[in-house]
Structure 1
């Protein structure tokens, strides 16, 4: 998404209530960004939406940026965890995708499938698929994975477009 109709800054995002915890005004969030202190950003494509499209958790003091995507029912459906491996560069080290059986399923606890991939900068990836319906768990290790598309510039304050991208890994 190129532009957001509503942006909410806060210390943390309450994923159950879909509410900010300790809401910040933009100058406070900007100051925290510059000081590399933790803050969260909720991005809404509609100012009337009850649930954000994306929540970013930026904690550069700990070299971390998390990205959560939600469906129209407010359930987490995709999560990216980035690590600032070198100054100014984030690496996507962990992604989790949740599948729900229907519109009525609860968030996370109602997911019937979890696909998780953990990446390393040297091209090693471990994919784990947990299927709660089939009651199976499968782990696949890969080497020689092209990780060139898993890098991001550490964003300047307010420049969320690239970090908030859904489409990674050709999915």
Structure 2
């Protein structure tokens, strides 16, 4: 895949088309995060990666009434594996799915076994983010939420 120029990415942001912005890695290191935006379908995602280029934390947002709502948080653990990239197998995945009315469902998958629990009346006011201008992702890419 040929990388987009900043102007091409800016145009895609304006039109709502899909684009991915990758944080510039230090020389000789894997990128630490990427932002995927497709506002025409109401989608935004922030993915944090480890030193092997594997996804470790994924925040998925959906566009609701002109703002982004953090709908899904998924964390990935690879144990002692040093496999690289998107083909590495996780040993544990933990997913939180939020609704705007304060319901959260937590699913943990370990070695193919899955357990799920739900909670109600959760304060989700911090799950809302303004739609960022192109390149102004500092609020969206906060790891600690």
| Length-normalised TM-score, structure 1 | 0.79
Q: Comparing both structures, which one devotes a greater share of its residues to strand?
A: 1
- The equivalent residue for 2:14 is 34
Say which SS state the counterpart of residue 58 (structure 1) adopts. strand
Give runs of aligned pairs for residues 122-137 of structure 1, distance below 5 A.
122-132=101-111, 136-137=113-114
**Count of aligned residue pairs for this structure pair:** 144
- Aligned partner (choices 19, 23, 37) of residue 3 of structure 2: 23
Say which SS state the counterpart of residue 90 (structure 2) adopts. coil
Write out per-residue CA displacement over residues 112-135 of structure 1, whole angstroms, 9 at most, x where no aligned residue.
Answer: 100001100000011000111xx5
- The equivalent residue for 2:128 is 151
Say which SS state the counterpart of residue 68 (structure 1) adopts. strand
Matched, 1:62 2:46: no
Q: Comparing both structures, which one devotes a greater share of its residues to helix?
A: 2
Cα distance in 2 for residues equivalent to 1:164 and 1:90: 13
Give runs of aligned pairs for residues 4-153 of structure 1, distance below 5 A.
21-46=1-26, 48-87=27-66, 89-105=67-83, 107=86, 109-132=88-111, 136-153=113-130
Q: Which stretches in structure 2 are left out of the alignment for 5+ residues?
A: none
Q: Is the 8 A contact 2:29 2:51 kept in 1?
A: no
Write out per-residue CA displacement over residues 120-151 of structure 1, whole angstroms, 9 at most, x where no aligned residue.
Answer: 0000011000111xx53210111001101111
Say which SS state the counterpart of residue 23 (structure 1) adopts. coil
| Length-normalised TM-score, structure 2 | 0.92
Cα distance in 1 for residues equivalent to 2:38 and 2:2: 16
Deviation at 1:159, TM superposition (A): 0.1
**Structure 1 consecutive aligned stretches of length 4 or more whose deviation exceeds 3 Å:** 105-109
- The equivalent residue for 1:161 is 138
Q: Is the 8 A contact 2:46 2:59 kept in 1?
A: yes
Say which SS state the counterpart of residue 8 (structure 2) adopts. helix
